[in-house]
Amino acid sequence: MNNSRCRIIAVGKVRKRWVQEGVDLYLKRLPGLGITELRDSNPKKEAEAIRQALRTDEYPVLLMEQGLTLTSVDFADRLRDLGSERLAFVIGGADGFTDAFKSTARWQLSLSPLTFPHELARLLLLEQLYRAQAILQGSPYHRA
């Protein structure tokens, strides 16, 4: 997995220091992966800001409770199978995405059937991206 072809677009800021420390740790482990933070507002305004932040060559992956739930190995395989496509993992605000915006995504991903605050979703996503990289590289980080 090439980290420079992935980024995270996240509505809202990380306010808890311990979460930011975790985010910083995984960003160091995933050089080239960036996070674009957008101001939280209402779902319609957030959707427009996300549209503006997306690059024309990016494949948007919306993180949402109703999305596809994968194992870590399946997630790694899916990332591998996407080849060189640029990915933008999008974490919405507290009120989620509009139906119109959901329909524009080619892939919707759920990190868990549980609901998490956006700060924790960001940290969990980063850990899973790191785990996927480890799986694809055959690293012992992931113990199946």
Query: Looking at the predicted structure, is the pLDDT value of residue 1 above 80?
Result: no
Is 84 or 7 the better-scoring residue by pLDDT? 7
Query: Looking at the predicted structure, is the pLDDT value of residue 78 above 80?
Result: yes
Half-sphere exposure of residue 47, counting CA atoms within 13 Å on the CB side? Answer: 14
Percent of the chain with pLDDT over 70: 99
Secondary structure (H, E, C), 22-57: HHHHHHHHCCCCEEEEECCCCHHHHHHHHHHHCCCC
CA 136 to chain centre: 18
Which parts of the chain are beta strand (E)? Answer: 6-11, 34-38, 58-69, 86-91, 107-110
The answer to whether the beta carbons of residues 55 and 88 sit under 8 Å apart is: yes
Is 140 or 77 the better-scoring residue by pLDDT? 77
Position 101 scores a pLDDT of 92
pLDDT per residue over 2-14, tens digit each? 777 899 999 999 9
Q: Which single residue is written with the structure tokens 């605000």?
A: 93
Position 144 scores a pLDDT of 64
Confidence of residue 111 (pLDDT cuts 50, 70, 90): very high
Handedness of CA 97, 65, 34, 12 (dihedral sign): positive
Domains defined along the chain, listed by start: 3-137 (3.40.1280.10)
Residue 54 has what DSSP assignment?
S
Query: What average pLDDT does range 56-77 have in this prediction?
Result: 94
